[in-house]
Structure 1
Amino acid sequence: MKTLSKLLLVTLLSVTLAFGLNNTAQAATVHTVQSGETMWKIAVKYQVGVSELIEANSAIKNPNSIYPGQKITIPTDKAGSSYEEQVVQLVNQERAKVGLKPLKSNWEVARVARYKSQDMIDKNYFSHTSPTYGSPFDMMKKFGITYSTAGENIAAGQATPKEVVNAWMNSDGHRKNILSSQFTEIGVGYAKGGNYGHYWTQMFISN
């Protein structure tokens, strides 16, 4: 059976389109609260969103009041995170081939990208414009991401990091985003499910 796949990209520079939380069970880590810690500090330490941390600990009635010795569940998606990290590595390998500096992985941007990939599954669409969050640029701002330049690549149907990076690199517009000297940071979000089986989002920024 032929595998369906799609690619889409957008950059703030051109503002043109070129067509070219994961549904699986999540593992969890348990953290013991130390003196002086807050939910926000714990979220930053483990590179997760505060809202996800609170959701994973719904038994805690007042998230603003936690105490030393208390057990906090840290939500993690090791399989998805591994895929996302591999995409970043492959992107930086491509950049190195042409003498570009590597992009720094930004977990906060990756969190936004992950939400975007999952949103495409949940709302059954494939587009840069989300019915939930709006444009990629609006979405980043809603999540508190600041930038001077930003861009997004999305894809669906590719089953592995290598497949999706190869697909992006074989598309002129997507390759330009990956090999742009203007971007300095990247966040990758992967989600499994939906009509195409695998959804990928790359978000690029510079400040």
Structure 2
Amino acid sequence: MIRTIGVLIGIFCVLGIYFGPSILFPIPTLDPKDNPAIEQFVIQHTNDERMAAGLPPLVHDPLISDIARAHSENMSRLGLSHDLEDREPTDRALRAGYNCRAYRADGSYTYGLSENILQYPVASHLDGFETISEAVAHDLVNSWMASAGHRANILDEDVHKIGVGIALLENASDGQGWTGSVIFATQNFSSCR
């Protein structure tokens, strides 16, 4: 019995060395069908950050998510930028039928959408999360929170709505030998209620 257990352990060790850890512990992968789950987890983690800072959670707006998703898909073709095809966030919002002018407490007003974008090479890890979608969403929000300008958008007390769009570019290459999946992510925020 002990000898059988020893042989089995030896076989698993050899398999692990030869095939790498993925033979024993499958590495999770992303698929474009995971995009809606990632979007929802980004909203959840963004609201967790806001509530930790004493701010109310943002309300998800499906039209703003459509605007964000279209921009992420456009970035997956044209590259990371707030301004693609001569359209910045407010231009894209107006073209989609989202017209927002919100007044602030000091009497000034905001017009259109604020935006966070990110290009993220997908790392296959779970880091204690149940799904790769949640792990990726957590990484996206943490990346934005580590940047002063992006953090300011997330923690802006004058915004009330959020939309998130994800586009997955599979088989991307950096031209230096790396290939893998890349996520283009867009968060749009609105001060309208």
Q: Which runs of 5+ in 2 are unaligned?
A: 1-30, 102-109, 123-135, 174-180
Which residue matches 2:93?
140
Structure 1 segments (4+ residues) deviating >4 Å: none
Which residue matches 1:16?
none
Which residue matches 1:156?
119
- The alpha-carbon deviation at position 187 of structure 1 amounts to 0.2
**Corresponding residue pairs, total:** 130
- The alpha-carbon deviation at position 203 of structure 1 amounts to 0.3
Give 1:117's match in structure 2, choosing from 57, 72, 94.
72
Q: Which runs of 5+ in 1 are unaligned?
A: 1-23, 26-76
- Please report the RMSD computed on the Cα atoms of aligned residues, expressed in angstroms: 1.6
Is 1:127 the equivalent of 2:112? no
Give 2:146's match in structure 1, choosing from 158, 164, 170.
170
What is the percentage of aligned positions where both structures have the same residue? 33
Contact 1:158/1:164, CA 8 A, preserved across alignment: no
Judging by fraction of residues, say which structure has more helix.
2
- The alpha-carbon deviation at position 81 of structure 1 amounts to 0.8
TM-score scaled by structure 2? 0.64
Contact 1:113/1:203, CA 8 A, preserved across alignment: yes
- The alpha-carbon deviation at position 84 of structure 1 amounts to 0.2
- The alpha-carbon deviation at position 158 of structure 1 amounts to 4.8
Deviations 1:30-50 (A, max 9, x none): xxxxxxxxxxxxxxxxxxxxx
Deviations 1:65-102 (A, max 9, x none): xxxxxxxxxxxx5x211100000000000000111010
Contact 1:157/1:198, CA 8 A, preserved across alignment: yes
Report the secondary structure of 1:127's partner residue: coil
> Which has the higher Rg, Structure 1 or Structure 2?
2
Contact 2:80/2:184, CA 8 A, preserved across alignment: no
Which residue matches 1:180?
156
Q: Distance in 1 between matches of 2:182 and 2:121?
A: 8
Is 1:206 the equivalent of 2:191? yes
